[in-house]
Amino acid sequence: MLSRSAQGLYWMGRYLERAEHLCGLLRLQTETLVDRPVREIHFGWTRIYGSMNRPPPFGEIEMDSDDYTLADSYALADDLTFERSNPTSIWSCFALGRENARQMRHCISAEMWTQLNLAYLRIQKLSIQDIWWMSPESFYATTSAEINTFAGVAESTMYRDDGWRFMQLGRSVERAQLSAGLILTQLSADPSKEEEDADWTSLLRICHAFEAYNRRYGVEVQTGHALDLLVTDPLLPNSLCRSLDMTAEELAAIDPGPDTRSSDAARRLAGRLGALIHYEWPDREDREALLRQVRGYCLDLHDLVTAAYFDYPIEDHPAR
């Protein structure tokens, strides 16, 4: 398919995956503002910005009194939700994802466009004031549900050609990168035992893994078990392992790009990423270093996909 079409679908998948990731984090975070300790609220914001690899808009987040914590939360939620100058805010992700979908309407179904356009129109004129004083968690839950509905509509209506593959590739690369960042931020915390259990419980809920954890390990949340589940379980939709496996599958299904050297390198790197989790993870003691390696490889993989399929050099042919 045309490189412009492939690039648009790839980025549409990435933007919507990023928006859904933020909605899940912000939904839980705004729920904690009601009755949770200041430390837990502070760590929640740190975890969100760490997963996005983005500094807070006004420097390091400080642990202050309840009043200041609420004011800071208002500003931070605005930055992550409606700030137009923040390319990773929910509003920006929707706007950029919709623009890519608009340009690629010949590659997606009419039902997909309708669902995405309606969701965008709902939020385009909203501001933080419109959602904050009522129930901000309801806004994030509704927005997340709309993105999941879009994914379901795509699953049931989109033609399974390379366009589908590129959209899924964008989603899986974005999810792997965000998951690695989220877990790394979690591991960087130094809480007490009680606080650590609460932090990992909240992370399991964010990743829709709490019920799966209870079925496998019981009700007591232990750091090692939670970490293994989120990283290595191939049946968990949001696990790092599953995201990397999906990335490798989509790359294997897409025909080599014009820059075959880059496309071959992308496939090899995707295989190396899977091997790090499947084969090295159980025996590694420096797991934070491994996750940082995975996160860096995800960035490299994006660059290789871009070079192989989107921004490859055009060969000069001599005039006859």
Query: b/e for 149-165, b at 16 or more Cβ within 10 A?
Result: ebbebbeeebeeebbbb
Terminus-to-terminus CA distance in the chain, angstroms?
28
pTM: 0.92
146 is written with which tokens?
Answer: 């709309």
Whole-Å CA distances, 194 to 37, 94, 123, 203, 220: 12, 38, 38, 15, 12
Residues 6+ apart with CB under 8 A from 1: 107, 161, 162, 163, 166
134/314 Cα distance (integer angstroms): 54
Q: What is the pLDDT of residue 168?
A: 97
181 is written with which tokens?
Answer: 């960042």
Torsion angle in degrees (nearest 10) through CA of 147, 150, 152, 155: -130
DSSP result, 271-286:
HHHHHIIIIIGGG-S-
**Sign of the C-alpha dihedral computed for residues 139, 231, 184 and 269 taken in this order:** negative
- For the chain, what are the domain ranges? 1-159, 160-312
- Block means of pLDDT (10 residues each) for the chain, 320 residues, are 92 97 95 83 89 82 59 89 95 97 95 97 94 91 97 96 96 96 88 76 93 94 93 95 97 90 95 95 92 96 95 58
- Does residue 244 contact residue 180 with C-beta atoms inside 8 Å? no
188/179 Cα distance (integer angstroms): 14
233/209 Cα distance (integer angstroms): 10
DSSP result, 149-191:
HHHHHHHHHS--SHHHHHHHHHHHHHHHHHHHHHHHHHHH---
Amino acid identity of residue 307, one-letter, is A
Q: What is the pLDDT of residue 320?
A: 37
123/11 Cα distance (integer angstroms): 20
Query: b/e for 300-314, b at 16 or more Cβ within 10 A?
Result: ebbebbbbbbbebee
